[in-house]
């Protein structure tokens, strides 16, 4: 009788273990399915949506611990870490940029500019210049000409006055495209075309102005010179990427009427003479935004995207591109994103201590 009881007890234990094992496998399967469903839902979100997720890669794990993880957990981690497996992402570190401090001007060049030349960084698609400038009070760029470039200034802080060379100082009247005193959130855009001359001066008595100066190559030369100015609110940028520039309606074959109307493909954006889109976002720590490559507004389906993290938080901002640990950017860094297609979703996650101001430059 005792032997029977002992055998029965052993059988019960074995059955319990079997059921526990089956339940564990079922839970693991359900967890995998739940993750895949949730992940698919997140990556299919529409553009300009602030996706606040906790899909992060724990960088504190040692390689030994990673090796001890079950194969399924490693698979899940790899799935979480990349959403665009086909994309090639190459960081462009701030330390590799050109840098000049002229006293009145402290400037960093992501691409060859002025007396700094690096054959590796000449242009990226239509993107030709990306300078991050700080100009001291009562100084700036005096009247100078431009020709056959699309040029825009994105104000980060301070004050910058754009003044057309044909306008006499003191007789400008109110804010206009030919005279504009810019502050944070303002964007001033110039089509150089057949030739234009203007000045960009910090006329403030004490404050330094901090801004990005960006140049793009137009789809054809000899365009009619033109200015545009527009303001983009920070609160909108905290909800998701805000589109700032998009191609002129009519494209390279735009009619004279379309040129005069100056209507952009995406409403409430500035028109640019290039297959080029610019976006900007303010991403809170531990939050993530998605950029919809091409923004449903471009001709070419094969795209290139340049991501730039501005130097606005004293080094406390940091982002991760596409969930990749080898594409974590610090302030001043950029990233070349290649082999992507219109409609791809590029995830940018804020992983630093401070809000990250991210600029997206999407080009053919």
Cβ-based neighbour number of residue 90 at 10 Å: 11
Written as six digits, the tokens of 74 are: 């490693």
Cα separation, 181 vs 192, whole angstroms: 20
How would you label 100-133 residue by residue, b for 16+ Cβ within 10 Å and e otherwise?
A: eeeeebbbbbbbbbeeeeeeebeebbbbbbbbbb
Please, what is the Cα angle at 74 between 73 and 79, to 5 degrees?
A: 95
167 confidence band (pLDDT: 50, 70, 90): confident
Contact 362, 303 (CB under 8 A): yes
At which residue do the structure tokens 């300078």 appear? 131
Helices 71-81 and 2-43, packing angle to 10 deg: 10
Q: How far is CA 40 from the centre of its chain?
A: 22
- State the pLDDT at residue 171: 85
Asked if residue 4 has pLDDT above 70, the reply is no
Higher pLDDT, 259 or 78: 259
- State the pLDDT at residue 14: 41
Mean of the per-residue pLDDT values of the chain = 84
Write the DSSP symbol of residue 344.
-
Count H helices and E strands in the chain, helices first: 5, 23
Query: Which tens digits make up the pLDDT trace of 338-360?
Result: 999 999 999 999 999 999 999 99
C-alpha distances out from residue 273 to 90, 131, 186, 215, 220, Å: 27, 20, 20, 12, 8
Q: Which of 356, 293, 346, 337 is nearest to 92 (CA)?
A: 337
Mean pLDDT of 173-181: 93
Write the DSSP symbol of residue 172.
-
Question: Which neighbouring-strand residues pair with 363?
Answer: 276, 304
Please, what is the Cα angle at 353 between 94 and 48, to 5 degrees?
A: 80
**Residues 6 or more apart from 248 whose CB is under 8 A from it?**
254, 258, 259, 262, 263, 264, 265, 271, 272, 273
Mean pLDDT of 128-132: 98
Cβ-based neighbour number of residue 158 at 10 Å: 20
Cα separation, 283 vs 78, whole angstroms: 24
Asked if residue 119 has pLDDT above 70, the reply is yes
Asked if residue 78 has pLDDT above 50, the reply is no
Q: Per-residue DSSP letters for 187-203?
A: EEEEE-TT-EEEEEEE-
Query: Which tens digits make up the pLDDT trace of 246-268?
Result: 999 999 999 999 999 999 999 99
């Amino acid at each position: 009788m005792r032997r029977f009881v002992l055998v029965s007890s052993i059988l019960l234990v074995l059955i319990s273990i079997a059921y526990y094992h089956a339940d564990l496998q079922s839970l693991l399967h359900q967890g995998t399915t739940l993750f895949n469903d949730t992940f698919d839902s997140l990556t299919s979100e529409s553009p300009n949506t602030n996706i606040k997720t906790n899909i992060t890669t724990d960088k504190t794990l040692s390689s030994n611990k990673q090796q001890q993880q079950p194969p399924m957990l490693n698979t899940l981690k790899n799935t979480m870490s990349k959403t665009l497996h086909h994309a090639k992402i190459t960081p462009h570190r701030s330390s590799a940029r050109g840098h000049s401090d002229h006293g009145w001007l402290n400037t960093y060049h992501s691409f060859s500019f002025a007396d700094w030349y690096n054959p590796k960084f000449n242009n990226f698609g239509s993107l030709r210049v990306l300078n991050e400038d700080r100009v001291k009070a009562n100084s700036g760029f005096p009247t100078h000409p431009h020709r056959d470039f699309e040029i825009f200034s994105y104000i980060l802080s301070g004050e910058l006055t754009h003044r057309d060379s044909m306008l006499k100082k003191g007789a400008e009247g109110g804010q206009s495209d030919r005279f504009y005193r810019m502050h944070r959130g303002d964007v001033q855009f110039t089509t150089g075309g057949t030739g234009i001359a203007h000045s960009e001066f910090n006329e403030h008595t004490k404050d330094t102005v901090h801004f990005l100066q960006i140049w793009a190559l137009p789809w054809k030369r000899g365009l009619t010179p033109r200015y545009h100015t527009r303001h983009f609110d920070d609160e909108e940028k905290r909800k998701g990427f805000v589109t700032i520039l998009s191609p002129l309606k009519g494209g390279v074959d735009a009619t004279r009427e379309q040129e005069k109307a100056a209507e952009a493909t995406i409403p409430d954006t500035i028109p640019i003479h290039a297959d080029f889109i610019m976006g900007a976002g303010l991403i809170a720590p531990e939050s993530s935004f998605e950029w919809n490559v091409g923004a449903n507004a471009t001709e070419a389906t094969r795209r290139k995207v340049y991501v730039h993290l501005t130097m606005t938080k004293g080094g406390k901002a940091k982002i991760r591109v596409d969930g990749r640990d080898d594409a974590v950017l610090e302030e001043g860094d950029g990233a070349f994103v290649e082999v992507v297609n219109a409609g791809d979703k590029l995830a940018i996650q804020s992983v630093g201590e401070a809000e990250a101001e991210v600029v997206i430059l999407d080009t053919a």
